[in-house]
Structure 1
Amino acid sequence: MSVRIGVITFPGSLDDRDAQRAVRIAGAEPVALWHGSHDLEGVDALVLPGGFSYGDYLRAGAIAALSPIMAEVKEAAAKGMPILGICNGFQMLVEAHLLPGGLIRNDHQHFVRRDQKLTVENSDTAWTNTFRRGQEIVIPLKNADGGYIADEETLDRLEGEGLVAFRYAGVNPNGSLRDIAGLTNEAGNVVGLMPHPEHATEPGFGPDTAAAMRSGVDGLGFFASAIAAVARVAA
């Protein structure tokens, strides 16, 4: 079975081609989709990539969350399709109310770029099932509006229901409450995170590891997980 994963391009997307490449490296077929379309072209999963959609005007991801294709994204999410929001894509998922809370300016008011350690908090989602709970991975991070916020009741619910997918380890780079780096919805098919797994999928281009410089490929697990999730449904 050939798994087809759509990557949606919005005005201002800049990591869409990287996400398509990551999908291909993981063994699936990338499908380029346009934000102004209402056609998901029969894909099995979706990626909302990083970038600065609409220049981050109003709020990061707020205008993109109203793009025509987001009606189909919401419908697909309700039907259980695996959907991953990366950085700006995470902001879109929050603005579209597919994930709770909000994302605001980093607490230090500066753009941050670093290889970020994460702890996998939930390994039962469509995008994390090849990891183990408690596993530490390293994924590149680059954002200016990455501070995750929510009220205390929502934060307690996220913790209590196991909806925190990833947590920052070692250092909190942007002031996110409770070190939250990524979330999942209750069904486990929608996941959003600020770091960029598509930049850690190919030796020679990823984070440094103890083995060699730029050899980190922890991001491959995200796309391999989605492929496995789709295959299980089809079986």
Structure 2
Amino acid sequence: MRHRFRPFAALAALALIAGFVLVTPAAQAAPRVETGPTAQQLLDAVSNCDQISNGTYETDEGEGGDVPVCQTDGAVFYTADMDIDCDGQRTTQCNEDTDCCFYPDTAFHTSDDQPLNAAELPYIVLPSPSGTWDYGDYGLDGGSVVAIVYNGHVEYAVVGDTGPTGIIGEASYAAASGLGIDPDPSTGGTDGPVTYIVFPGSSVDPIEDHGAAVSVGEQYANDLVAAHR
């Protein structure tokens, strides 16, 4: 029987003899293991609303306000719809042609002082401070980490922009896409329910580091769930 020479097997044997650990191509390409809680565990942890907003928000202009901002031990949260934010850097997905209301800036900037890229970075939009609610009073700022829960899925993101003082429920093109929501700024979004869980005191620096947002978000999310068991 003729045996085929396998170069990688020979290298592995030599590495073993020499006392080295050889990383295989399969190991290099191993998928990331999710370590955060499930969507349902997060929803259970924020099932009771201690309202901190002075009144409620509209999800869309002129449709009436019925969304309170709530607080629980370890999180600020609200449940609303999701409109698509495509502001910031001009991209194929986000520009004046694809979005009638496109604005080439975001409230918070990247580490090199550029607007955020809504097509690439999952982020949410918080209402600008007002008499209804001021996010800064509750330990939140640009770069604060968020767990967005929709239809059994969890997407980790950051606070990346601010919007109208009376409207809530908006996230970037990338955030919507990651949750399986149509991200088109003209026709996309969802009526929800979408639950946004923001972790006071958390921070990602640089703000554009999505991998860090996932890692930090999972840690805070696990702590939140543990505190509400």
What TM-score, normalized to structure 2?
Answer: 0.27
Which protein is bigger by CA-based radius of gyration?
Answer: 2
What TM-score, normalized to structure 1?
Answer: 0.27
More helix by share: 1
Q: Which protein, 1 or 2, shows the higher relative CO under an 8 Å CA cutoff with sep ≥ 6?
A: 2
